[in-house]
Amino acid sequence: MTTLWLPEIDPTDVLAPGEKLRLMAVHAHPDDESSKGAATMARYVDQGVEVLVVTCTGGERGDILNPGLKDRADILENIAEIRKAEMDRARAILGVDQVWLGFVDSGLPEGDPLPPLPEGCFALEDVATASAGLVGHMRSFRPHVVTTYNENGGYPHPDHIMCHKVTIAAFEAANDPAAYPEAGTPWQPLKLYYDVGFSQAKIEVLDEAMLAEGLESPFEEMRRRWSEWAGKMRAPVITTRIPAADWFERRDAALLAHATQVDPKGLFFKVPLDLQKRAWGTEDYELARSAVKTSFPEDDLFAGIRLDDAS
Ligand SMILES: [Zn+2]
């Protein structure tokens, strides 16, 4: 288990009876909130949890993945504004609040050797400086739970790895009165999770479920790539499975709202929803840090925090 246990905090000291629970999800680009943990967020919104998505960059260098919108000059020229409008639609569908940190997308470098990252991009920022804004949001929103990506970024995009570093730095600094004194009153989020979008087991289960129904499986290629990656990275440890099948439609609708970034005929949409719900109806997480007691496996990001659990 990789959970780092922090000095214990009694949830009754930081949560008044009847007070809403608060979840913060830190993401690299607009659209990441809809492809990673979106059904979990929609579920918690419906339960009355306050959910704030923090988006590090504007996604200005995202490739246009929707074949129907490719090579359109009007889109390429206005991509920053278009991505803001797409984010507004996704936010409304999920029912979350959302803020921008205002950094510039680094783009996904491709080639051998890889080209240098563009000047001024998020991944080249100094981590301590770049964390200041997120510390401010942690101190004003006061999340009980924070989610982000693991040290590998979930997948190796420089902005995803930077998003991890900035979230860790902010999580560590948020309750330190000596750090960023101008950023508000210190606050200790109680838990930090890494999103586990895909795992070896999930890919295998979905692949086999598709084949069992006689459907062409898009996961065959993914299984191959995954085993290539597997040797290079720490395998995620799933500590927490959130039953989220009833919110998969909302997840897909939010993802489709990022119209320039999503191929509506792509991998995400080739797997029938009822098969997804049956074969793997959870969204999965790894508890990275905790200041409350809990036991594994969890089925709730707020396990150990909800006051009704304590009785
Ligand atoms: Zn991204």
| Cα-to-centroid distance, 185 and ligand 1 (Å) | 30
| Cα-to-centroid distance, 152 and ligand 1 (Å) | 13
User: Alpha-carbon dihedral of residues 273, 275, 276, 278, nearest 10 degrees?
Assistant: 120
| Cα-to-centroid distance, 31 and ligand 1 (Å) | 7
pLDDT at 311: 40
- The mean pLDDT of 186-201, rounded to a whole number, is 94
- Answer whether the bond into residue 297 is a cis peptide, omega within 30°: yes
| Cα-to-centroid distance, 271 and ligand 1 (Å) | 22
pLDDT per residue as tens digits for the range 153-184: 877 799 999 999 999 999 999 999 999 999 99
Model confidence at 124, in pLDDT bands (50, 70, 90)? very high
pLDDT at 101: 98
| Cα-to-centroid distance, 297 and ligand 1 (Å) | 28
Helices (H) and strands (E) in the chain, counts: 12, 8
Helices (H), 131-199: 132-141, 158-173
| Cα-to-centroid distance, 157 and ligand 1 (Å) | 7
- Detail the DSSP E strand segments found in 137-258: 145-148, 191-196, 240-243
| Cα-to-centroid distance, 8 and ligand 1 (Å) | 33
| Cα-to-centroid distance, 158 and ligand 1 (Å) | 9
At how many degrees (to 10) do helices 79-94 and 248-257 cross?
160
| Cα-to-centroid distance, 117 and ligand 1 (Å) | 16
| Cα-to-centroid distance, 190 and ligand 1 (Å) | 25
| Cα-to-centroid distance, 73 and ligand 1 (Å) | 23
| Cα-to-centroid distance, 12 and ligand 1 (Å) | 36
| Cα-to-centroid distance, 189 and ligand 1 (Å) | 24
| Cα-to-centroid distance, 211 and ligand 1 (Å) | 29
| Cα-to-centroid distance, 159 and ligand 1 (Å) | 7
Give the separation between CA 12 and CA 300, rounded to whole angstroms: 18
pLDDT per residue as tens digits for the range 62-87: 888 888 888 888 888 889 999 999 99
pLDDT at 71: 84
- The mean pLDDT of 232-253, rounded to a whole number, is 94
**Which of these ranges, 30-44, 84-98, 196-210, has the smallest mean pLDDT?**
196-210
| Cα-to-centroid distance, 246 and ligand 1 (Å) | 25
pLDDT per residue as tens digits for the range 259-288: 999 999 887 788 999 999 999 999 999 999
pLDDT at 310: 43
Output the pTM of the full model: 0.95
